[in-house]
Structure 1
């Protein structure tokens, strides 16, 4: 493939601009479009027919998995490469199961990102080094103390926002810190936390931390 046509999907305009600037002039890649949410992503993919979609995991309108559901790969095109701040197992495994060919974190350098895009366009699977191990474990069915089908069933009970709150609380964040991180009120955090504990049939944040740790969600 002479040049990989890329659509950048992220809800932060400054980040999209940064990626576009980073990729500009790089051999082997060409940014042909960008999008900020699920609807605009699906539209851009249909209009531009890219080879690779750089896809953020958490997006307004349903997230990266919803984009792949509504604009699935046909005959290998487009190929999806997740580019996210999240390195949580639930996000990585869920995104790969949703159809992505790779998953890299936003700590990746410009040259590394170009190389990842080209490899995904060529049909390879690409992961940030820290993520590759548990992805392989997950799909080999080894190395996880809880069956992934059970993890999926548990997580399916939670909304996307409840998952975000759950992960931060389980990592030791205070309610105030979670509120600041997610730009919501402390009262809203408390409500989400109450829902999480009820849905997962847990009684405390200590149990939640143990639950998340056992499932490699931290």
Structure 2
């Protein structure tokens, strides 16, 4: 399995637009933040090759605008009003069908480990704090649009710690059998979460949790939650 790895620290150095495709087209972004004055300031700071295709201030607005505009990158605040109280994680969950084509870059005042890890687990490609400068955020948008993972200095360590340090041969041979969602469910179940708690954490139904757990046990050739916990502990995945 390939765990999202931190990219270079945000430096603001110029980077080519959509380098993988060599496409000079502008990068289309949606800004999600509940403070209109911050959204206005951020728009003014972005370089001309980054075009704001939409804005949102709540969870519900964000999910709707992202689905309608299908931007290249979403600049996503972690703490948002609305929805079921899940903030940025809930926006990511509600935008799950678009994660293959739309990149999410968390942008928050918070540098708390739990905030960083939660949105990365939910599918964000990076996390930067609001102390970032205009040139730096433009550089971060370009990198995320190009497929890189971008973090403010020191935040990358939170991600490395959270995703564990299992040996490469174990990760490649066994964890590659699991989908990204199955891996999320596996970690929570192995840590002792109930099916109901997993469903609440990941914004999915209890029935879906049961389906994922069955798939995990089958793929890893295990027969119970107890065996799954021991398997994860032995590989330092908890």
| Shared fold (TM-score, shorter chain, > 0.5) | yes
Give the TM-score, by structure 1 length.
0.63
RMSD: 2.5
* Counterpart-to-counterpart distance in 1, 2:97 and 2:158: 25
Which residue does 1:91 correspond to in 2? 115
Determine which of 142, 149, 153 is the counterpart of 1:129.
153
Equivalent in 38, 57, 66 of residue 45 of structure 1: 66
Which residue does the alignment assign to 1:10?
Answer: 33
1:53 & 1:41 partners in 2: Cα distance?
9
Structure 2: gaps (5+ residues)? 1-17, 19-23, 167-186, 202-238
Cα distance in 2, alignment partners of residues 131 and 83 from structure 1? 12
Q: Secondary structure at the match of 2:55?
A: strand
Distance in 2, Cα, partners of 1:84 & 1:152: 30
Aligned length: 151
Higher relative contact order by CA 8 Å / sep ≥ 6: 1 or 2? 2
In structure 2, C-alpha distance between the alignment counterparts of 1:109 and 1:51, rounded to whole Å? 21
| Change over 3 Å in CA distance of 1:38–1:78 after alignment to 2 | same
Q: How does 1:69-88 map to 2 (within 5 A)?
A: 69-74=93-98, 76-88=100-112
Moved over 4 A (4+): 148-154
Pair 1:11–1:93, CA change in 2 (3 A): same
Matches within 5 A, 1:201-216: none
The answer to whether the aligner puts 1:104 opposite 2:128 as a matched pair is: yes
Matched, 1:67 2:88: no
| Greater shift in the superposed pair: 55-64 or 68-77 | 68-77
Instruction: Give the conservation status (yes or no) of the 8 Å contact 2:116–2:158.
Output: no
Cα deviation for residue 151 of structure 1 reads 7.8
**Do the aligned partners of residues 79 and 69 (structure 1) sit closer, same or farther apart at CA in structure 2, a change above 3 Å counting?**
same
Structure 1: which 5+ residue stretches go unaligned? 143-147, 161-218
* Structure with higher helix content: 1
Rounded Cα–Cα distance in structure 2 between residues aligned with 1:27 and 1:37? 26
1:135-169 deviations in whole A, cap 9, x for unaligned? Answer: 11221348xxxxx8588959x69x99xxxxxxxxx
Question: Aligned partners of 2:114 and 2:90: how far apart in 1?
Answer: 15
